[in-house]
Amino acid sequence: MDIYLVGGAIRDALLGLPVRERDWMVVGSTPEAMEAQGFEAVGQSFPVFLHPTTHEEYALARTERKVALGYKGFVFHAAPEVTLEEDLKRRDLTINAIAQSAEGEMIDPYHGRDDLKRRVFRHVSEAFAEDPVRVLRIARFSARFPDFTVHLSTKELIHKMLESGELNALVPERVWKECSRALMEQAPWRFFDVLTEVGVMSALFPMLTQLPSKETLARAVAVDAALPVRFALTCEYMKAKEIDAFIVQYHVPNACAELAKLSLLIPAYLDCWRHKHAELISQCLSTLDAWRRPGRLASFQLLVRLRYPEHRRQDDQHVLSLVEEAQESIDASQWAKDGVPGQEIGKRIQAARVELIKHYF
């Protein structure tokens, strides 16, 4: 059997980037032969094995045949007679269809190295159109490699996929996975820009009627903001019902969903501080659950600073100090011991918070 390094490891090395992980392809072997050498079988749909010492993934060379809509609608054929070139042909982009032998020889039958030099995303074959996830992958790769462009022929193929209804087979979890990974790349705005360029943005994200701000997302990247913050910034121009639609349609995780909804409070938050309205400030902090969860408040404040760079960090520190003081100085346990009704305790806590806020003006 022959073993080749394939895919992203070669692409990144040729681009002079750190190699995150390595994938291997095995030609001329069988599952039985792999297991006999100590490899552990882990693949469900097709034969994939973990190396007994490095635990890196080794997949048998395979071909695939489309039998139904969606990225799961394939039948795979892995056998010793499947060639290296046949396996590479089923891959998405030419820049991901390069292999390297154990002796260091580059095998590049689909001219991926040329496309790397041209900074072009180009599909390997018409089989690209059989897997709708590949459209999202191109957009995610654009967020990681923002100086690349999508080849015209690939744009035309994506348009055919849209017309055929193939994109309708995308499952919510996979869309969110690609979107969230793109948001954590160096140019997250490119994910949405490219989906717009290839003509599928309105089909996949109809609630995003206005693209996220490149400048705002760039500030988030500069401070290495977490995913919930970046997602909330993506929703900057969306209304409440549009944010809800995004969250429901793509099963957005709670941390991201909560902060995106809270971002709608930003105008009111800034306005009540600007006018030094203690009661409204207290209500706003309660809505943020800031009195109990200062960590959420810190994420919200970062969101404010990224959207409004002129906002003073010193003001945020005052708010955090205020919350900390409230946690230390307002003790409702004694009121409870004295038999004060629960509703009255709530009113006293609110009044005490308002008085604290007034002292900060």
- In this structure, is residue 205 part of a structural domain? no
Predicted local confidence at residue 45, as pLDDT = 67
Place of tokens 């046949």: 86
Q: Are 257 and 229 in contact (CB under 8 A)?
A: no
33, 37, 39, 44: CA torsion to nearest 10: 10
355, 358, 359, 361: CA torsion to nearest 10: 170
Q: Are 132 and 167 in contact (CB under 8 A)?
A: yes
Other beta carbons less than 10 A from residue 124's beta carbon: 21
Q: Mean pLDDT per segment of 10 residues, for the chain of length 361 residues?
A: 93 94 92 91 81 92 66 68 92 96 95 98 94 96 98 97 92 97 98 97 95 96 97 96 97 97 93 86 89 87 92 76 79 79 86 83 69
**Residue 108 structural domain:** 1-118
The span from the CA of 350 to the CA of 278, in Å, is 11
- In this structure, is residue 83 part of a structural domain? yes
Instruction: Concatenate the DSSP letters of all residues of 153-219 into one string.
Output: HHHHHHHHHHHHTGGGG--HHHHHHHHHHHHTSS-THHHHHHHHHTT-HHHH-TT--SPPPHHHHHH
Nearest Cα neighbor of 58 from 77, 45, 42 is: 42
Predicted local confidence at residue 14, as pLDDT = 96
- In this structure, is residue 139 part of a structural domain? no
Phi, psi of 20 (to 5 degrees): -75, -45
Tokens representing 82 are 């499947």
Predicted local confidence at residue 237, as pLDDT = 95
Q: Are 195 and 167 in contact (CB under 8 A)?
A: no
- In this structure, is residue 209 part of a structural domain? no
Report the DSSP pairing between strands 57-60 and 62-66: unpaired
Instruction: Concatenate the DSSP letters of all residues of 256-321 into one string.
Output: HHHHHHHGGGHHHHHHHHHTT-HHHHHHHHHHTTTTT-HHHHHHHHHHHHHH-TTS-HHHHHHHHH
The span from the CA of 75 to the CA of 46, in Å, is 9
Task: Report how many domains make up the chain.
Answer: 2
Q: Are 151 and 112 in contact (CB under 8 A)?
A: no
- In this structure, is residue 346 part of a structural domain? yes
- In this structure, is residue 102 part of a structural domain? yes
Tokens representing 43 are 């693949």
pTM: 0.87
The span from the CA of 341 to the CA of 329, in Å, is 20
The span from the CA of 113 to the CA of 91, in Å, is 15
- In this structure, is residue 230 part of a structural domain? no
Place of tokens 């600007």: 274
- Provide the CATH number for the domain around residue 81: 3.30.460.10
The span from the CA of 312 to the CA of 314, in Å, is 5
Last residue within a domain, chosen from 89, 118, 147: 118
Last residue within a domain, chosen from 118, 139, 170: 118
Name the amino acid, one letter, at 231: F
Last residue within a domain, chosen from 97, 118, 139: 118
- In this structure, is residue 212 part of a structural domain? no
Q: Are 236 and 212 in contact (CB under 8 A)?
A: yes
The span from the CA of 99 to the CA of 105, in Å, is 8
> Which one-letter DSSP state was computed for residue 140?
H
